[in-house]
Chains A and B, each alone.
Chain A
Amino acid sequence: GDSVTQMEGPVTLSEEAFLTINCTYTATGYPSLFWYVQYPGEGLQLLLKATKADDKGSNKGFEATYRKETTSFHLEKGSVQVSDSAVYFCALGNNNAGNMLTFGGGTRLMVKP
């Protein structure tokens, strides 16, 4: 079945540092890929998405590119802020396997001033 693997946290960075959170997936067909974010005390929010190979999703300075050849969707941000501290989840959705989302285990990011 479909699965998502993302790097374990916590990831601790200083403000303005470069961020990469790795995510790889296994799926049949042509899934859509997502990054969700969970800020402290809040619910899951969609951060960005890409629905086909080579698409780049971007939002709030975060980017991720759908790489079919490496089955990856790594999250990047050039300069993190303290307010980016949260848990980030990589997920895939596959119309060939129902309409549910399959999530990775989450990566906690802590940004220090």
Chain B
Amino acid sequence: GAGVSQTPSNKVTEKGKYVELRCDPISGHTALYWYRQSLGQGPEFLIYFQGTGAADDSGLPNDRFFAVRPEGSVSTLKIQRTERGDSAVYLCASSLRASPNEQFFGPGTRLTVL
């Protein structure tokens, strides 16, 4: 079956611009997670959803970052007033239910802020 998909695969933007990154989880998965992986580092947790609600957003670095999942399936990560330090690969994962044990990752979106 289809895995987790993320679009776009690459995004280049200019400092100060607004970007949206999309994640399509595996069908039927109720939990969805966003992570950020900077160059040469491991992924870092940003936020996770159980259904439509953000169950834990403690990893969002500041109020320029926001994520939604209005229908409990597709999620969008939104970054306002992008900064060069936001450049990273943004990873999405989903699981059947909220658990660290069963997360399936997408290929990621590589964001470059010039």
Residues of A participating in the B interface, judged by any CB pair closer than 8 Å: 4, 31-32, 34, 36, 42-46, 49, 51, 89, 91-95, 98-106
Contacts and interface: CB of A to CB of B under 8 A. Distances in A.
Interface string B78-111: 0000000000000100010011110111111000
Nearest to A41: B107
A45 B100 contact: no
Nearest to B95: A99
Contacts, number: 68
Nearest to B34: A100
Contacts of A101: 33, 35, 43, 45, 100, 103
A106 B55 CA distance: 27
A46 B44 CA distance: 16
A103 B91 CA distance: 13
Contacts of B31: 99
Contacts of B107: 42-43
Nearest to B98: A99
Nearest to B41: A105
Interface residues of B, number: 26
Contacts of B41: 105-106
A45 B93 CA distance: 11
Contacts of A4: 42
B42 A94 contact: no
Contact of B43 (A46, A49, A99, A103): A103
Nearest to A105: B42
14 contacts: A43-B107, A44-B43, A44-B105, A45-B105, A46-B103, A93-B101, A95-B100, A98-B45, A98-B48, A101-B100, A101-B103, A104-B42, A105-B40, A105-B41
A49 B101 contact: yes
B28 interface: no
Contacts of A31: 100
B59 interface: yes
A27 to B, nearest CB: 11
A106 B37 CA distance: 11
Given A43-B106, A44-B91, A102 B101 contact: no
